[in-house]
Structure 1
Amino acid sequence: MPIDWAHAGATLLASFLASLVECVEALTVVLAVGVTRGWRSAVTGSALAVLVLLLIVALLGSALTRVPLGDIQLLVGALLLLFGMRWLRKAILRAAGVLALHDEASIYARQTQALQGSVVATQGWDRLAFTTAFKICMLEGLEVVFIVIAISAGRPGLWLPASAGAVAALLVVIVLGAVVHRPLARVPENTLKFVVGVLLCAFGTFWVGEGIGDAWPGGDVAILALILAYLVAAMFAVRGCRRAAIRGASA
């Protein structure tokens, strides 16, 4: 099936950025587990979670090929729109100063302190380390799986760029984690979530329109217009929330 290059670039970017955010969050906990409890169980738990996620992707991807394309577009479009709005809402409130920014260094410190309070296994497997690493990788990985499947299911040929974006993000985080051995606190996570939220909302709106049979003006170029529209709306929302927060603080 030929790749639709009009969508491939935006699909790759959305998949990469969204996966990067989730992988960084998972890395923070895995690093805390490895440093505090030992790397054997931490790496094993993480690797098993990745294998389970790959199996889920294979099963869901196979199942989606049996569903009519219009139904898939409507379903994943609605889900992407809801998912993107959730990310965008938090990013707007954090950018406006209403919510505190996500602090990976603080999360790492809290996780390390909590793990240090338990007895470390001197022989065999460390059940706590294995379970903690497996759970965080599964939780964050499931969001990556959803995004990859959702943004690639709306149009034939997008599976490759969506998967490539997720794999690239995973490899980047693994390499950086292996090199620095510390949480990637300097990654501008809220900015990434802001951008990803805009992209997911744009994709979701586009797929919903395609799913109900409406033809977008300009065809695929409408995605760029939707991205710009959501970006402008989100920036105005940040300004509005910031002004409301200042008025509330001064009242």
Structure 2
Amino acid sequence: MTGTGGALFAAVFLACAVEAVEAVTIVLAAGTARDWKSAGYGVGAGLAVLAVITAVLGPAVTAIPLGALRLVVGGLLLIFGLQWLRKAVLRASGHKDLHDEDAIFARELAAAKSAQAQTRFSVPDWYAFTLSFKGVLLEGLEVVFIVLTFGANAHDVPLAALAAAIAVVLVVAVGLAIRAPLAKVPENTMKFVVGVMLTSFGMFWGAEGADAHWPGDDAALLVIAPCVAVYALVWVSVLWRSAPRAAEPSPASELMGA
């Protein structure tokens, strides 16, 4: 695997792992509080819809001329990447609460327990079904977008799909094994890294789509990504000094979710 291939695999793996953690948390809440059978139906329905969307979008994305594809996708990745990076910097600097899967699980669990039970279309618990369906579909759409855009731009959809599959299977297996939210996963750090990588790929592909030429071609990513990371960490350090907090945790500990 080349350096660019490794960067592609890492970016897709981490981004898809984050989405999978959030989907698993929602499904676990639906199954624990309501009905596992109905939650399973919701997961199956969500995966079926995703399969149809992927079958439709896949050929359409790969049929777009490479230059136009890189310009459009590069711009989208840059927008998404900067959003992820902005939130990660605010979390790391103490200006935004850290992402807490335990709190999210407790919130979803409470909402699920308070909802009224209804049976529709032979589904024992419609609330558990819809909660799981929406969680899988929404997070899954982001996984599909990541795989198709990264894979098509890098001319390696199979590698992107492999990275996504490994990430999703790993997260789902761990989640089902422990039947608990994956609170120990360093999701805040992962989101920071994913934000850096999405922003870097967005800059790289967007510029190439606009007919710019990067010195060193693909090797330029090995410079762009560290520069974006350093820039973000500088902002973490600057913003950390003005963050409202009782204690004085370091920016590094905030980034790691400590």
TM over 0.5: yes
In structure 1, distance between residues paired with 2:194 and 2:123 = 41
In structure 1, distance between residues paired with 2:118 and 2:50 = 27
Shift of 1:226: 0.6
Describe the superposition over 1:91-138 as per-residue Cα deviations: whole angstroms up to 9, x where unpaired: 000000100001111111111111111344588521111001001111
Are the equivalent residues in 1 in contact too, given 2:94–2:244 (CA < 8 A)?
Answer: no
Aligned residue in 2 for 1:90: 87
TM-score for both structures, normalised by structure 1: 0.92
Aligned-partner residue type, residue 9 of structure 1: G
1:161 to 159, 162, 167: 159
In structure 1, distance between residues paired with 2:123 and 2:96 = 42
Give unpaired runs (5+ residues) of structure 1.
none
Note the aligned Cα RMSD (angstroms).
1.8
1:105 equivalent to 2:109? Answer no
Give unpaired runs (5+ residues) of structure 2.
246-258
Q: Where does 1:83-232 land on structure 2 (aligned, <5 Å)?
A: 83-120=80-117, 124-156=123-155, 158-232=156-230
Are the equivalent residues in 2 in contact too, given 1:61–1:149 (CA < 8 A)?
Answer: yes
Describe the superposition over 1:116-164 as per-residue Cα deviations: whole angstroms up to 9, x where unpaired: 11344588521111001001111111111111122122132x2011111
1:26 equivalent to 2:23? Answer yes
Q: Which runs of 4+ in 1 moved over 2 A?
A: 4-7, 118-125, 244-247
Partner of 2:154, secondary structure, is coil
Are the equivalent residues in 2 in contact too, given 1:33–1:39 (CA < 8 A)?
Answer: yes
Shift of 1:173: 1.2
TM-score for both structures, normalised by structure 2: 0.90
Shift of 1:246: 5.7
1:233 to 231, 234, 241: 231
